[in-house]
Structure 1
């Protein structure tokens, strides 16, 4: 009989076919880059029509308060260095190679979590020629403490591919490589963001020597911040800090009053209102539970704002933290997207492969990862809603169907999401009181 040889041949063919299929899947997995769309990614998370260029620019903000050297109420000044990464729509030839980002884990000066270099692939092209012909809205991104300008490349590359010029900041004294005393972050975070908006307008002005000359529409600007970046963008957007923060800051710096420039009610602060900013995205903004804002300060936030939070955030807090900011910002048109059971890390890239090493401190993994969510899923959902929100305010896109949806994602599939894929989320929307 020849049945057994035939069955064996069929089994061998099936084995070989499955082996080839697994090899193909593994190859695809290895080629999966931060921000790529999962099979269940919502509609607006997909990449845009443009190739993306990326460049590094080193800036100097002159004559700034050197808060780390303040003493007896006296504030010396210094020239503050700031590095930014700029992503932009680009013109790319067929021989161009995509970027390799150089990043680190760990924290400067921490013996338990020493600086550990690693690299990861991006979709952008280093120093490619910018695409000429039209202006693009500006997006400025501010990382957490500690962090870096590369912490959210899944989002920065994605937005640039959709026709935005995106600048992400390395906040001096607040990055993995140079983390320093916290008073520098408290004082400089909003100041850095304002400075970078102004510098991007200069770099993008006609006649500038930069690649993006003539391409930046700074009058249509969005600012995006994560954690301490959220603390910064809300202040830049109009939410003045409290007198309680001013008193705390004075105590921790030996008498410096430098932070009063960003306190609600200060005439100098009120003059800084920036009409160029049309939208704010605040991921897990820090500070409400620590008295950074009060009711009067939050009333100053009038720019449309999209908050993103985890319901179990144990760094910024949720009910008395991020949700309290959302509820107190009564003069802003605002949204609050909540990932149920997520903690604080609702904004970063997925953990790098190097963070999985058992020899590293587990917090290197939890610098990025969420215990109850796939980080790539979070990234895709963030891309979707940030695209909808800033597209509405910076490009006048009609994205109401993606934003004006029922609160509970478990009740019905949200518009733009594939069937059965929009579980475990809540989206609240409140209009300005006046």
Structure 2
């Protein structure tokens, strides 16, 4: 929906007494996350596949309960993970490809930000028949921020599924809006959840399994996408072991716990957990560098092709001493860094939902999604373009390098795939091992 239409709807509220609930419903009916703006780059449009979506629940048994300690030891518990899966699907010609997602604003256990249920529209079909015509598709695992949900990046997850990927987004237990808990759980479990879900998808895709995923995905050809704390976990899952400083700080935060030791670069067990099935990483605004989570040794452990996406004014993960420092320090990886000049932290999620405009809802719910210097829909389209190019190269062996190997700024030359003048405000860096 155009901004002029939004202003018109707001005017209706002021002059005719139209309810905010009506406004929210109108926005939901008209605007779908991921739809194209007229100035979207070439690889933003959807692919040729219909998109199905299903919800799965899996259980990671006997994990360290880092939030509780008894007699100096942590008990074990089962981590309940809800997954949303988007996949290529056969959609009948006479059936509209639409879905209603259910989420919440707010955060659990915070009376200043109570949970507010809301719905929003997507362009997928719930429980649609999988399209197995092209064989097993590459797997993409998506990890949200803290706090967040598996539905935070539907503009991207649907888009990738339409291009021939099976995309699995995780609700990380104790890190979602609905079940927010102590931060040590997020620090410890992000990489562990990612690797567990990779194994679960491999099992569900095996021939003979009773899952709809049987034969549909190739877990040997996978990528991780993470935003903020999701980026933190994705980097650790793929070679960036944590620093001694990080291990010490974690212990101070978690009652003297040593549970993070096994994810440190100095741990003999760490390298054995790195999974060769993962071929590439996309890290949106990864958190942790400014807090000492990595040192030079840890960053040097990242060897997979990596696409970093950052705002130059990120005030959560940091830029010069944060995301850019990770990019600079990952000396053994073929890496790119896309920068939104003057953007802050919110360079990955869907635009603010209509429900965040309702009276009585904390402004923090809007700001959790909003990017003050950029149009969120434009960011979404640009992300669709570059993630398509990056994953196309590394998971599908497509000839997309020209879309990534562009001048550092538009002042230095035209960016392939962008309409004239439409790459202004962007920077792209590329470094090889």
Q: Which residue of 2 aligns with 1:152?
A: 153
Q: Which residue of 1 aligns with 2:86?
A: 87
* Distance in 2 separating the partners of 1:372 and 1:256: 40
* Distance in 2 separating the partners of 1:71 and 1:291: 29
Q: What displacement does 1:198 show?
A: 0.6
- Matched-pair contact (CA < 8 Å) for 2:227–2:285: yes
Q: Secondary structure at the match of 1:68?
A: coil
Matched, 1:59 2:44: no
Q: Secondary structure at the match of 1:245?
A: helix
- Matched-pair contact (CA < 8 Å) for 2:29–2:121: no
* Distance in 1 separating the partners of 2:50 and 2:201: 20
Q: Which residue of 2 aligns with 1:17?
A: none
Check 1:37–1:29 CA distance in 2 against 1; reply closer, same or farther (3 A cut): farther
The Cα offsets for residues 176-212 of structure 1, whole Å up to 9 and x where unpaired, read as 0000000000011110000001101111111111112
Matched, 1:109 2:109: yes
**Aligned-pair Cα RMSD in Å:** 1.3
Q: Secondary structure at the match of 1:320?
A: helix
* Distance in 1 separating the partners of 2:27 and 2:421: 24
Q: Which residue of 2 aligns with 1:44?
A: 43
Matched, 1:206 2:207: yes
Q: Which residue of 2 aligns with 1:194?
A: 195
Q: Which residue of 1 aligns with 2:393?
A: 392
* Distance in 2 separating the partners of 1:31 and 1:311: 32
* Distance in 1 separating the partners of 2:177 and 2:127: 24
* Distance in 2 separating the partners of 1:314 and 1:156: 26
Q: Which residue of 1 aligns with 2:125?
A: 125
Decide which moves more: 330-339 or 352-361: 352-361
- Matched-pair contact (CA < 8 Å) for 1:72–1:254: no
Q: What displacement does 1:72 show?
A: 4.8
Q: Which residue of 1 aligns with 2:383?
A: 382
Q: What displacement does 1:419 show?
A: 1.4
* Distance in 1 separating the partners of 2:244 and 2:28: 51
- Matched-pair contact (CA < 8 Å) for 1:71–1:254: no
Q: Which residue of 1 aligns with 2:220?
A: 219
Aligned length: 406
Q: Secondary structure at the match of 2:67?
A: helix
Q: What displacement does 1:32 show?
A: 3.0
Q: Secondary structure at the match of 1:231?
A: helix
Report 1:157-172 matches (<5 A).
157-172=158-173
* Distance in 2 separating the partners of 1:157 and 1:189: 23
- Matched-pair contact (CA < 8 Å) for 1:413–1:421: no
* Distance in 1 separating the partners of 2:430 and 2:72: 43
Q: Which residue of 2 aligns with 1:291?
A: 292
Matched, 1:304 2:293: no
* Distance in 2 separating the partners of 1:116 and 1:30: 19
The Cα offsets for residues 112-145 of structure 1, whole Å up to 9 and x where unpaired, read as 1110111001001001111123110000000000
The Cα offsets for residues 240-278 of structure 1, whole Å up to 9 and x where unpaired, read as 001111111112222211111100021111101211111
Q: Secondary structure at the match of 2:269?
A: helix
* Distance in 1 separating the partners of 2:71 and 2:325: 36
Q: Secondary structure at the match of 2:120?
A: strand
TM-score (norm 2): 0.92
Q: What displacement does 1:95 show?
A: 3.3
* Distance in 2 separating the partners of 1:145 and 1:273: 24
Q: Secondary structure at the match of 2:299?
A: helix
* Distance in 1 separating the partners of 2:162 and 2:414: 27
* Distance in 2 separating the partners of 1:110 and 1:216: 39
Q: Which residue of 2 aligns with 1:233?
A: 234
Q: What displacement does 1:28 show?
A: 10
TM-score (norm 1): 0.92
- Matched-pair contact (CA < 8 Å) for 1:51–1:124: yes
Q: What displacement does 1:69 show?
A: 1.3
* Distance in 2 separating the partners of 1:28 and 1:70: 47
Q: What displacement does 1:29 show?
A: 9.6
Gaps of 5+ in 2: 1-25
Q: Which residue of 2 aligns with 1:20?
A: none
* Distance in 2 separating the partners of 1:291 and 1:350: 31
- Matched-pair contact (CA < 8 Å) for 1:42–1:380: yes
Q: Which residue of 2 aligns with 1:345?
A: 346
The Cα offsets for residues 294-338 of structure 1, whole Å up to 9 and x where unpaired, read as 000000000000000000000000000000000000000000100
Q: Secondary structure at the match of 1:391?
A: helix
* Distance in 2 separating the partners of 1:419 and 1:150: 33
